[in-house]
Structure 1
Amino acid sequence: MLEQPVTLELLFEQLGLPADEKAIEEFTRNHQLPAEVILPDADFWSDGQSTFLREHWQQDDEWIVVIDKLNQLLHVESDKQQTTA
């Protein structure tokens, strides 16, 4: 169990990515996923990043809330397309 609260910034740090607000916003804007691509299967993750996301998503542990949030942020465009179709 983590001693500090799990946040989107902490998730980005764990994934080895820049974790400031601007960097997170830029990453999510530039890495939008089609609706059919699940988060850990995105082609821009390294094997380690993908494994981390998949394992914590499947375990439904303390990371799940921020992993779900990241998933939503990376599917904004596909959600928009589905509602306008």
Structure 2
Amino acid sequence: MMEHMIHPFSELFEQLGLDASNDGIKHFIATHKLPANIELIEAPFWSAAQAGFLKEGLQDDSDWAEVIDQLNISLR
């Protein structure tokens, strides 16, 4: 069985085409809050490609799923 690799937050931000610096991540989280009734992948601030990457990462329980869950929690 293959072990899931744990990706750091910065790598997820790089995959999403966002500023992956510590300040960039803090700024994104501070300026993008999600109400409880909106799914992460339905957030209005994602491009179609970003939403697709997040959806695929969660659906496939890929090695990105854990860090995507962390992002979801951070945006609440």
TM-score (norm 1): 0.81
Q: Which structure's residues are more often helix, by fraction?
A: 1
Task: Classify the secondary structure of the residue corresponding to 2:18.
Answer: coil
Task: Classify the secondary structure of the residue corresponding to 1:60.
Answer: coil
Aligned equivalent of 2:11: 10
Note the C-alpha offset of 1:61: 1.1
> What pairs up with 1:17-56 in 2 under 5 angstroms?
17-56=18-57
Structure 2 residue runs of 5 or longer lacking an equivalent are none
* Structure of larger gyration radius: 1
CA distance in 2 between counterparts of 1:22 and 1:7 reads 15
CA distance in 1 between counterparts of 2:13 and 2:33 reads 16
Amino acid at match of 2:50: Q
How many residues of Structure 1 are paired with residues of Structure 2 in the alignment?
Answer: 73
Note the C-alpha offset of 1:5: 4.9
**Residue 6 of structure 2 contacts residue 66 of structure 2 at CA under 8 Å; is this kept in 1?**
no
TM-score (norm 2): 0.90
